[in-house]
Amino acid sequence: MAAAAAAAPGALGTLQAGRARLVAACCARLGPGWRLSGSWTVPRVDPAIWARGWTHAAVGAAWRRGYSSEVKTEDELRVRYLEEENRGADLKERVKMNSSEVGPFVSKIRAVINEIANLPVPTIAAIDGLALGGGLELALACDIRVAASSAKMGLVETKLAIIPGGGGTQRLPRAIGMSLAKELIFSARVLDGQAAKAVGLISHVLEQNQEGDAAYRKALDLAREFLPQGPVAMRVAKLAINQGMEVDLITGLAIEEACYAQTIPTKDRLEGLLAFKEKRTPRYKGE
């Protein structure tokens, strides 16, 4: 089970989990965190804005989505990470399902992964161990992926006579191109970190350290680079990129213009200009 350590405002919280970590960046302040081995809980950020979570109370229980209050404070969520031991779906659990249960079960997984993809903060997937099947699909839903050279990742579902059902057939081609994505899915090939970097699946590959958390540490370094930037700017930059990649260039430029317009009336924009003039670090509040 993952447990969160509280952090001072603006610092990096930490979630502890198993040896194989999948991390989606970091945030300013965390309370009780994710439990990812069969039980999803709402990540609480106190106080927080833009935080979303999912709850699965027990096996067979209905999934529900939880939303934090949108309170604008100094402790706003800036970057999000979740950490888990995620090698993919629990096949022993899947064997016990009848045919009528499989479709709804996969749909719920897909919905959760889509919510992570739509988080309005930067997300980083750090793969230090195995990310196979659904584990890689979760990583593909993140903005940036980093991995240890010894990590193993792949969409291996065709070995089981099924296909990726958590967005893998859509997000992998968008990440590495259609031809390579087809090759990897058709072959159910498993890549190590170096091979994943070579095909563009990950942004950074690290030699694994003795602690087994090289990718996790790199993810935190990246998150520390992101954390000082203007929160509104980060949110609309992600929106502009994500939506712009799905349309033609002219429409994409219109999306960029609309997103840029959202930053103009903000207090953060004025604070950034003033801080630049006064040669000091800006104090952004997400306003």
Q: How is the chain split into domains, by residue range?
A: 78-227, 231-278
The pLDDT assigned to 94 comes to: 63
Q: What is the pLDDT of residues 86-111, one digit of tens each?
A: 445 555 666 667 777 777 878 888 99
H, E, C per residue of 180-195: HHHHHHHHCCCEEHHH
The pLDDT assigned to 55 comes to: 28
What is the third-level CATH fold of 78-227?
2-enoyl-CoA Hydratase; Chain A, domain 1 (3.90.226)
Output 217 or 109, whichever has higher pLDDT.
217
Helix 231-244 vs helix 249-263: angle between axes, to the nearest 10 degrees? Answer: 170
Assign 117 a pLDDT band (cuts: 50, 70, 90). Answer: very high
Output 51 or 83, whichever has higher pLDDT.
83
The pLDDT assigned to 64 comes to: 34
Output 279 or 58, whichever has higher pLDDT.
279
The pLDDT assigned to 238 comes to: 97
Give the helix, strand, coil percentages of the chain, each rounded to 5: 40, 15, 45
3-state secondary structure of 68: coil
**Least confident range of 18-32, 171-185, 197-211, 235-249:** 18-32
The pLDDT assigned to 104 comes to: 81
Structural element, H or E, at residue 205:
strand 204-206
Rounded to whole angstroms, the Cα distance separating 199 from 197 reads 6
The pLDDT assigned to 78 comes to: 56
The pLDDT assigned to 107 comes to: 87
Output 65 or 207, whichever has higher pLDDT.
207
Give mean pLDDT, residues 170-178: 97
Rounded to whole angstroms, the Cα distance separating 55 from 115 reads 13
* Arithmetic mean of pLDDT over the chain: 75
Output 50 or 213, whichever has higher pLDDT.
213
Domains 78-227 and 231-278 are alike in CATH topology:
no
Active site residues: 89, 134, 137, 157
Rounded to whole angstroms, the Cα distance separating 185 from 163 reads 8
The pLDDT assigned to 225 comes to: 94
Return the CATH class of domain 231-278: mainly alpha
The pLDDT assigned to 93 comes to: 65
Phi, psi of 240 (to 5 degrees): -65, -45
Assign 56 a pLDDT band (cuts: 50, 70, 90). Answer: very low
Rounded to whole angstroms, the Cα distance separating 14 from 31 reads 10
The pLDDT assigned to 162 comes to: 93
> What percentage of residues in the chain have a pLDDT greater than 90?
61
Assign 236 a pLDDT band (cuts: 50, 70, 90). Answer: very high
